[in-house]
A and B are shown apart, each in its own frame.
Chain A
Amino acid sequence: MPAKELSCPCMDCKDAETVFTVRKRQLCSDCYKHFIAFKVHRRMEMYRPGKTQEVRPKVLLPLSLGVSSSVLLSIVEAQLQYQLAKPYGKIFFDLHVLVIDPSSINPSSASIDENYKVLLETFQLPTYTRLSIHDIFDYVPNMKEIICEYAGSQFADDSSLSNEDRLSAFRASLSTATSAADLDYVLLTRLVAAVAQKNGCQSVFWGDSDSRLAARALAGVSKGRGASMTWQVSDGMSPWGVRFEFLLRDLYKTELLQYASVSPELSDIVISDPPLSDNVLTKNLSIDELMIRYVQNQGAKYPGIMSNVARTANKLESSCLDGGASCALCGGPRGNVKGNTGVTATTQSGDSEGSRFCYGCMRSRPGLKC
């Protein structure tokens, strides 16, 4: 092949101009996408069919239409297409995609109708479900009772209202930004797990980037939810018998943004992130947002340390949690984790004992202004 005149050739194929530098490697856009996809494939290895495997597993991929989960879908779908294209090709697992309408969580979000249409046309291999957050009442039938018991006197449920209005009344009863963000995540996770169960999925592929996982770990720890990190940040079994896998845990948000920028098929699917509110006082932020900002700011200077956070949380052993009582709302462990007895922060706080809810959920319940 005649050598091209390249001012800065790609380190891998040596046949195209460098577009991005990733982890000290200068790559063209194809090799860049390859590099990123490889980091995801590596984590999908366990879904390679074994010899004895009889039933093809099914996987749920919750898609927010944000950059990260859209890139994940694009990589996973491409891998399945690749498997199909092989002679006698068979896919390793069936893929079901769940889109939860962002406008049902954040009313200021634009309609996703167009994006959804393009999505179905672009990625034809998976099956799809589109829901709103308040569909949780249909998927988790006792959720209404749980919420009423949880909210106590601060929230008067009105059964004549629609699911949508009942959920917004509950959310409105939460007194702080931290509690609201905390409960949104709890409800979203419950809905995703319930949809996975209903569709017979063994696993959920979450689209959280490394940066997002670091922020979640720091926020979870700050909200007294340290014990739930074993499935909120680590790969492992969730309380609902469905495995949670975080396939993007080796990738920074900036890398996913770059991937999307050279993936034209995503341009009409991805919705942009809601901008972080600027110029607000720290005390009005939610803990989740504080940590997203912290990871963003510190990550610019210390990306390695930030990825170390999620990596550290991923080393915790979820097996230690087996057998204990779990929270009716978030599914996390109640009381003390096995091995912790006597005087602990749980006994010191004094308000979560004897309740069906865990320490973290009790901290977010309506009316508690702290």
Chain B
Amino acid sequence: MAPTTCFNCKEARAVIIRPKNRHKLCRACFIEVFETEVHETIIGTNLFFPGERIAIGASGGKDSTVLAAVLKTLNERYNYGLDLCLLSIDEGIRGYRDDSLETVKRNAVQYDMPLTIVGYGELYGWTMDQVVEQIGKKGNCTYCGVFRRQALDRGAARLDIQHVVTGHNADDVAETVMMNLLRGDLPRLSRGTSIVTASGGSDIKRSKPLKYAYEKEIVLYAHHRQLDYFTTECIYSPEAFRGSARTLVKDLEKIRPSSILDIVKSGEDMAALVPRDPAAAEEENTGGCGSQNGRTSGGEMAAMEKQLTENETAEAHETEIQLPQKNTKNTIKNPKAVKSQTLGHCERCGYISSQRVCKACTLLEGLNRNRPKTAIEVGMEDEEGSSTLMRQMERTQLTNS
């Protein structure tokens, strides 16, 4: 087969086919186009202001490594005037995090950016290794996710930085759209696609400059620029390959490569069609860890199914009693409909929370009381042993919107 020439420069050998428009590009043109599109996203959304200090949430993985590399390039090329630094969370997982942190340390040198590492140990008094020692491997992802959420904010606050950027890409956004549709979460459907999410938990701004970048292009960008990134699965998350929404999105991409951006498009449109609830502020997604952010799992689906079945049964009884002449409007009761919540501060740690005590402190209380919570099975396929606590956890996650 004769080599294909680049759609852009018509000279060099094409090495990639872009998912969103099937353009065939050479290495140099691809890198250029990729960077230009991120630049256009940044400019078009007024994401930064000159002199702004930005913390890049860096895990050592492909997304945050590409984000750091692109932001450094763009900052220099277009004189954004940004003060960039890397912020990493050390969950305290030996053999996983030590290695990825070594990658981040190398990145700090390669990109000439200061690096701050905040540890779960110093923030919470518990490393993930210690958590797992206490509660076992099942359900630890919940702890990790809740702790991580606050850790980035707390790390940024420590650095006196108001804006954290993360490496979430178009695939992540698409998965979140599908997942929110599957679990009927309208408020998250209305927010999940926006590039900036004011973190409910603090006044620190969160944004995702790569939200229109296909994961495939991020991986290829890293490959063609030979970026140094770390790629081993979290040792406590052996089931991470699964996940209903994620598998579905990957299947879709196989059928129609553009579909990831198409889902983002649908998500943005539907977000504008979600009925407005003025009081719908809340804490962010707490499920799973950063690398699994927005990914649903068998355990979560099973728990939700159970609740829906209970609702359904309740509804059936209700309609039986009220059989004649019932108003058709709103006969379908959804007990999980949008509930507005008042935000206050956690009375233990001061972090903004809709509960009296924030989730992190609630989990910590359990750990500190040395009471194993083995029944939390978020992230696992196992459907047995759902305890009250698990249902509470799920409910918080599902209704907290």
Do A and B touch directly, given a CB cutoff of 8 Å in the complex? yes
Q: Which residues of A contact B (CB under 8 A)?
A: 23-25, 38, 42-46, 176, 178, 217-218, 220-227, 229-230, 250, 282-283, 285-287, 290, 294, 298, 301-305, 307-309, 311-313, 315-318, 320-321, 333, 336-340, 342-351, 359-360, 363, 368-370
Complex interface: chain B residues within 8 A of A43 (CB) = 328
Main SS at interface, chain B:
helix
Quick one: given A305-B301, A342-B44, are A282 and B255 in contact (CB under 8 Å)?
Answer: yes
Contact between A218 and B181, CB atoms less than 8 A apart: yes
Q: Tell whether B256 is near chain A: CB-to-CB under 8 Å.
A: yes
Complex interface: chain A residues within 8 A of B256 (CB) = 176, 178, 222-223, 287, 363, 370
Complex interface: chain A residues within 8 A of B44 (CB) = 342-343, 347
Contact between A301 and B305, CB atoms less than 8 A apart: yes
Chain B nearest CB, measured from A127 CB (Å): 26
Within 8 A of A (CB), among B173-195: 177-178, 181-186, 189, 195
6 A-B residue pairs with Cβ-Cβ distance under 8 Å, sorted by A, are: A42-B326, A221-B263, A222-B259, A223-B266, A340-B272, A348-B20
Contact between B268 and A345, CB atoms less than 8 A apart: yes
Q: Tell whether B37 is near chain A: CB-to-CB under 8 Å.
A: yes
Quick one: given A45-B328, A309-B182, are A348 and B255 in contact (CB under 8 Å)?
Answer: no
Top 5 closest A-B pairs, CB basis? A226-B266, A304-B308, A343-B44, A224-B262, A345-B265
Q: Which chain A residue shows the least CB distance to B213?
A: A348
Contact between A25 and B301, CB atoms less than 8 A apart: no
Contact between A283 and B273, CB atoms less than 8 A apart: no
Quick one: given A178-B255, A221-B267, are A25 and B316 in contact (CB under 8 Å)?
Answer: yes
Contact between B248 and A294, CB atoms less than 8 A apart: yes
Contact between A250 and B21, CB atoms less than 8 A apart: no
Contact between A302 and B301, CB atoms less than 8 A apart: yes
Contact between B184 and A311, CB atoms less than 8 A apart: yes
A317, B274: Cα distance in complex, Å: 6
Q: Tell whether B370 is near chain A: CB-to-CB under 8 Å.
A: no
Complex interface: chain A residues within 8 A of B259 (CB) = 222-223, 287
A370, B265: Cα distance in complex, Å: 16
Complex interface: chain B residues within 8 A of A333 (CB) = 269
Q: Tell whether B112 is near chain A: CB-to-CB under 8 Å.
A: no
Contact between B270 and A343, CB atoms less than 8 A apart: no
Q: Which chain A residue shows the least CB distance to B334?
A: A311
Complex interface: chain A residues within 8 A of B313 (CB) = 23-24
- Identify the interface centre among B21, B184, B256: most chain A CB within 10 Å of its CB: B256
Complex interface: chain A residues within 8 A of B186 (CB) = 312, 315
Complex interface: chain A residues within 8 A of B14 (CB) = none
Quick one: given A294-B248, A308-B184, A369-B22, are A221 and B272 in contact (CB under 8 Å)?
Answer: no
Q: Choose among B41, B248, B305, B326 the residue that contacts A305 (Cβ–Cβ < 8 A).
A: B305
Q: Choose among A221, A222, A301, A311 the residue that contacts B332 (Cβ–Cβ < 8 A).
A: A311
A338, B270: Cα distance in complex, Å: 11
Contact between A304 and B268, CB atoms less than 8 A apart: no
A320, B272: Cα distance in complex, Å: 8
Q: Choose among A285, A305, A346 the residue that contacts B255 (Cβ–Cβ < 8 A).
A: A285
Q: Tell whether B11 is near chain A: CB-to-CB under 8 Å.
A: no
Complex interface: chain B residues within 8 A of A317 (CB) = 273-275
**When each residue 13-30 of chain B gets 1 if its CB lies under 8 Å from chain A and 0 otherwise, what string results?**
000000111100000000
Q: Choose among B258, B263, B332 the residue that contacts A250 (Cβ–Cβ < 8 A).
A: B332
Complex interface: chain B residues within 8 A of A287 (CB) = 252, 255-256, 259
Complex interface: chain B residues within 8 A of A302 (CB) = 301-302, 304-305
Contact between A305 and B304, CB atoms less than 8 A apart: yes
Within 8 A of A (CB), among B311-329: 311-313, 316, 319, 323, 326-328
Contact between B272 and A222, CB atoms less than 8 A apart: no
Within 8 A of A (CB), among B135-184: 177-178, 181-184
Complex interface: chain B residues within 8 A of A24 (CB) = 313, 316
A221, B255: Cα distance in complex, Å: 14
- Identify the interface centre among A218, A220, A345, A369: most chain B CB within 10 Å of its CB: A345
Contact between A337 and B21, CB atoms less than 8 A apart: no
A222, B270: Cα distance in complex, Å: 12
Quick one: given A25-B316, A226-B266, are A320 and B273 in contact (CB under 8 Å)?
Answer: yes
Complex interface: chain A residues within 8 A of B344 (CB) = none
Complex interface: chain A residues within 8 A of B262 (CB) = 222-224, 345, 359-360, 363
Quick one: given A338-B272, A348-B212, are A286 and B21 in contact (CB under 8 Å)?
Answer: no
- Identify the interface centre among B177, B182, B183: most chain A CB within 10 Å of its CB: B182
Q: Which chain A residue shows the least CB distance to B271?
A: A340
A45, B325: Cα distance in complex, Å: 8
Q: Tell whether B71 is near chain A: CB-to-CB under 8 Å.
A: no
Q: Tell whether B254 is near chain A: CB-to-CB under 8 Å.
A: yes
Q: Choose among A305, A338, A345 the residue that contacts B183 (Cβ–Cβ < 8 A).
A: A305
Contact between B331 and A305, CB atoms less than 8 A apart: no
A46, B331: Cα distance in complex, Å: 12
Complex interface: chain B residues within 8 A of A285 (CB) = 255
Contact between A348 and B37, CB atoms less than 8 A apart: yes
Contact between A305 and B269, CB atoms less than 8 A apart: no
Contact between A305 and B267, CB atoms less than 8 A apart: no
Complex interface: chain A residues within 8 A of B269 (CB) = 226-227, 333, 336-337, 340
Chain A nearest CB, measured from B391 CB (Å): 14
Q: Choose among A38, A221, A342 the residue that contacts B177 (Cβ–Cβ < 8 A).
A: A221
Q: Tell whether B392 is near chain A: CB-to-CB under 8 Å.
A: no
Known: A305-B301, A345-B268, A370-B20. 7 other contacts (CB 8 A): A23-B312, A223-B266, A226-B268, A304-B308, A304-B312, A305-B183, A315-B186
Contact between A312 and B272, CB atoms less than 8 A apart: no
Complex interface: chain A residues within 8 A of B21 (CB) = 349-351, 370
